[in-house]
Amino acid sequence: MRIDIFSLFPEMFAGPFGSSILKRAVDQGIVNFNIHNIRDYTHDKHHSADDYAYGGGAGMVMKPEPVFEAVETVQAQAGDIINRKCSVILLTPQGRKLTQQAAEELAKYDWLLLICGHYEGVDERIREHLATDEISIGDYVLTGGELAAMVVTDAVVRLLPGVLGSGESLINESHTGGLLEYPHYTRPEVFRDWSVPEILTSGNHGEIAKWRRRQSIIRTAQRRPDILKMAELNSKEQEIVADLSTQKLEEKGV
């Protein structure tokens, strides 16, 4: 996969892309990153990338010309990949929300071009005539799209074949099966009087799997009842959830 990022603050990307799993993915040739400074595509004396809003009001708006020129220049130099599966994504709080499912869809592309919005917003023509998708990473406001672009990149790249080693499996992880993960423990077996649940040291793999599944269901019901609806539970597992609600009512004295 090729990922191009268009930003007014390209230096922000040096850290996250230069370490850990993302760096390994680059070294393995699974992904390559190109970070572009939008300001390099301005032509006025002051290299201005923003301007006042038509109609007035506080806050600056990102100008269309440098962003169009940056993206189109890179596309024009691209060669063959232009004919592959591409998406031009504007990072904006107004976009569709990044979910695990959205990350899985993006992981199918050959080329992602990520435009980091800034100031009070971007000129509407960027979203209308340049971006093919708009993504937000959640319901809160960031100072710019850079951190959001890093989050999208991380969530997508780790899904690409070969990026995670055998010890970093994609199976069983939170959100893919609609359930949160079960509790994890490692050595020591007793830490400050707190013991690892006995079942995990029993060596009974069947019972361990059952315990983990049950813990996942309980956790999800307690913490994220909103995603529990999407989980595929058998009738016995639905009973566990029902028992939990009954328990809750009893605790409240109903």
* Residues near ligand 6GU, by CB under 6 A: 91-93, 117, 136-138, 140-142, 144-145, 148
Closer by beta carbon to ligand 6GU, 7 or else 220: 7
- Provide the residue type at 127 as one letter: R
Q: How far is the CB of 145 from ligand 6GU (least distance, A)?
A: 4
Q: How far is the CB of 63 from ligand 6GU (least distance, A)?
A: 17
CA-CA-CA-CA torsion for 23, 25, 30, 31, nearest 10 degrees? -40
Closer by beta carbon to ligand 6GU, 66 or else 134: 134
| Rounded Cα gap, residues 14 and 186, in angstroms | 33
Q: How far is the CB of 136 from ligand 6GU (least distance, A)?
A: 4
Give the HSE-up count for residue 50: Cα atoms under 13 Å, Cβ half-sphere.
Answer: 15
The arrangement of strands across the sheet holding 133-136 comes to 32-37, 2-7, 111-116, 86-97, 133-136
Closer by beta carbon to ligand 6GU, 149 or else 217: 149
| Rounded Cα gap, residues 156 and 151, in angstroms | 9
Q: How far is the CB of 134 from ligand 6GU (least distance, A)?
A: 8
